[in-house]
Amino acid sequence: MEFRIIKSPSEGTLDILRRRMGTNCKTDLDSADAIGLVQGRMIEMICAADIAEKAVGVTVEDVRGSCPQNMILIAIFGDTASVESAIKEIKIKMEEGKTL
């Protein structure tokens, strides 16, 4: 899994994300202070999305949308502190989940 955080994303970056999320996107991207990006294998990303969804102050989107590949990317939108804390949560809980 790989992680990146973009603070104060530019309008062009939001455009690229919008085009790749298609019409399923339920988040108002313009109000997001920060974007957390998490990329990994599909099975991991569904678990990561669930962990982030249960964190406070963030919304989660599946970036690929209509053309699923094995390796996918999720974006986590919110204020910087919430995005950082959601990503921290993912790192901890996914590590625990490996013992399954």
**Residue ranges in 33-62 that form contacts with its own copies under rule CB under 8 A:** 37-39, 41-44, 46-47, 49-50, 53-54, 59-60, 62
Q: Are the beta carbons of 25 and 52 closer than 8 angstroms?
A: no
**Minimum distance from residue 61 beta carbon to its own copies (Å):** 9
Q: Does 88 bind its own copies (CB under 8 A)?
A: no
DSSP secondary structure, 16-85, as one string: HHHHHHGGG--S-GGG-SEEEEEEEEHHHHHHHHHHHHHSSSEEEEESSTTS--SEEEEEEEE-HHHHHH
Which residues of this protein are in contact with its own copies, per CB under 8 A? 2-6, 9-13, 15-17, 19-20, 24, 37-39, 41-44, 46-47, 49-50, 53-54, 59-60, 62-65, 67-71, 73, 97, 100
